[in-house]
Amino acid sequence: MDNLEKDITDSLAENTNIISAILGDSADINKREFSFGQLKGVCFFAAGLANTDQVSTIVRSFAVFGEHQDASGNRTIQAISRSLILNTSVETKTKINDGIKGILSGDTLVLLDGYKEYLLVETKGWDKRGVEEPSTENVVRGPRDGFTEDIRTNTSHIRRRIKNPDLRFDEMTIGDKTNTSINIAYLNGTVKKGLVEEIKSRLSRIKIDGVLESGYIEELIQDAPLSPFSTIQSTERPDKVSAALLEGRAAILVDNTPFALIMPSYFWEQLQAPDDYYNNFWMGTFFRMLRYFAFLTSVLLPSAYVMLISFHQEMIPTRLAFTIASGREVVPFPVLFEALIMELAFELMREAGLRMPKPVGQAVSIVGSLIIGQSAVQAGLISPFMVIIIAITGISSFAIPSYSTSFSIRLLRFPMLIASGTMGLLGFTCAFFMVMIHVLSIRSFGEPFFSPIAPFSASEHKDILVRVPWWAMVKRPRTASGELRRLGAGQKPKPPSTSEERHEGE
């Protein structure tokens, strides 16, 4: 494989042999030899990756050249590439290595007899999935386009939203075997100082054979690798990435996955949805509060219920205590066990519904809800209250917009449940505090994860618990560099003043 580092020679046959040897006789590598007049050459391209129309354009242009030109030796290869090739992008190279990489990413390598350089013509054109609505983060009001598997399509989504020369995509290649291209997107001059350098240094540390999804990168550069919380946000939505870039953050786009990574990421932002910013700010605030409530419910509700029922019966209002006691009258299990069974059943149903083909998935949910909701209660195995608690918990966890956060909550629920089921309020409080201490201690690319609540930053509270109207959101977060003001003065709409009106009337 030491051939890879070599330059090509001026013998066409020798060069062809070297490249054929490197690529082997892989079924998808095509070789197109041509000979027009005195011009002899070979095109190498990967079938399926290269657009065959583009490849034939190259060959056709050589055919025209060969018919009208008697001598080719007096032309430099630069002249050929300038005056001959009709394709959009052509490079002249000598190293074999570059050519092989080019072929494998869809370009066409053109070897010409008698030249010590070769042409690398961009002919990328493979089958792509169309732009579709993202499947994880749905919005009612807002753009419907989502990222796809193609990194250039994805960068184009962002570029379309931010038509600014400061928007940069820095390219890196990671994966010894896969050679996956990775783009770091940021707004030059706005991005937090030192962030891009930090990301690059973390990325360049990665030595891995392959990167098939952005999750690989996420786990390899995360600040808190053992935490159930993810300190890097993944999203399928270009508008979310664009908003993050405008706030002075950076994003990593990985080829072959629709999930981009946003960093640094804060806890609160994982409970915020793009809708919050597109709808009326009252609604945005209300839904945001609702989601915070859903977060608390989905983490704490089952544990609180188990704790009350098995340890602190005096804390339940009397009438409710009678009702709960009557529901549990025939249940043979301790409440902790009952809760664990139900939680597992719920997770099982969710997982099965997800993995099954869509038409069968419905059957799973019907059977599941019928068995769990109806029969288990009628048979006296589960108390109706527990079904309600688990249902509320489940619905709450679905209300969390970030998929990875809703997973971390699911995981936290079980230790919380066991702690409060065995030690009551003490266990409940201890477990909750342990989670809080952990969350407060982790960072995301130098930013405290729980910021701006802790450490407290008053100026950023316009966009945490509430969402103030756009005309009041004057500044970017303080982490951004450059000009922090994002809004002109006096943007609040108001009716024309009376003096102006009178003036117009005259």
Of the candidate residues 322, 398, 456, 470, the single one contacting other proteins (CB under 8 A): 322
Nearest to 266, CA basis, from 68, 447, 144? 447
Binds other proteins by CB under 8 A, chosen from 318, 497, 498, 499:
318
* Run of H or E including 124: none
For residue 309, state whether it binds other proteins (rule: CB under 8 A). Answer: yes
**Whose Cβ is closer to other proteins: residue 182's or residue 386's?**
386
Using the contact rule CB under 8 A, the part of the chain among 55-63, 304-312, 400-408, 449-457 near other proteins is: 304-312
Is 377 a binding residue for other proteins by CB under 8 A? The answer is: yes
What are the φ and ψ backbone dihedral angles of 148, each rounded to 5 degrees?
-120, -170
Instruction: Indicate the residue among 22 and 321 with the shorter CB distance to other proteins.
Output: 321
Q: Which residues contact 89 (CB under 8 A, 6 or more apart)?
A: 121, 122
Measured CA to CA, the distance from residue 348 to residue 353 in angstroms comes to 8
User: Pick from 181, 186, 175, 172: which is nearest to 151 by CA?
Assistant: 181
In the complex, what is the shortest distance from the CB of residue 297 to other proteins, in angstroms, rounded to a whole number?
21
Residue (139 or 335) nearer to other proteins, CB: 335
Q: How far is the CB of 331 from other proteins (least distance, A)?
A: 7
314 binding other proteins? (CB under 8 A): yes
- Closer to other proteins by Cβ: residue 135 or 374: 374
User: Long-range contacts: 344-353, Cβ < 8 Å, 24+?
Assistant: 345/372, 346/372, 346/390, 346/393, 346/394, 347/410, 350/394
Q: Are 92 and 77 in contact (CB under 8 A)?
A: yes
Which residues 408-427 are close enough to bind other proteins by CB under 8 A?
A: 418-419, 421-424, 427
Cβ atoms 49, 107 nearer than 8 A: no
The nearer residue to other proteins, 374 or 459, going by C-beta atoms, is 374
Contact call for residue 138 and other proteins (CB under 8 A): no
Can residue 330 be called a binding residue for other proteins (CB under 8 A)?
A: yes
At residue 469, φ and ψ (nearest 5 deg) are -60, 155
Nearer to other proteins, 220 or 381 (CB): 381
Least Cβ distance, residue 437 to other proteins (angstroms) = 12
Q: Nearer Cβ to other proteins, position 322 or 433?
A: 322
Pick one of 194, 210, 334, 446: the residue that binds other proteins (CB under 8 A).
334
Which of these segments, 34-42, 141-149, 330-338, 487-495, binds other proteins (CB under 8 A)? 330-338
Tell me whether residue 268 or residue 432 sits nearer to other proteins (CB atom): 432
Q: What is the DSSP string of 217-242?
A: HHHHH-SSTT-SS-SSEEES-HHHHH
Minimum separation from the CB atom of position 380 to other proteins (A): 5
- Note whether 466 and 277 are within 8 A (CB): no
Q: Which helix (H) or strand (E) holds 47?
A: none
Element spanning 45, H or E: strand 39-46
| Positions that interact with other proteins (CB under 8 A) | 309-311, 313-314, 316, 318-319, 321-331, 334-335, 377-378, 380, 384, 418-419, 421-424, 427
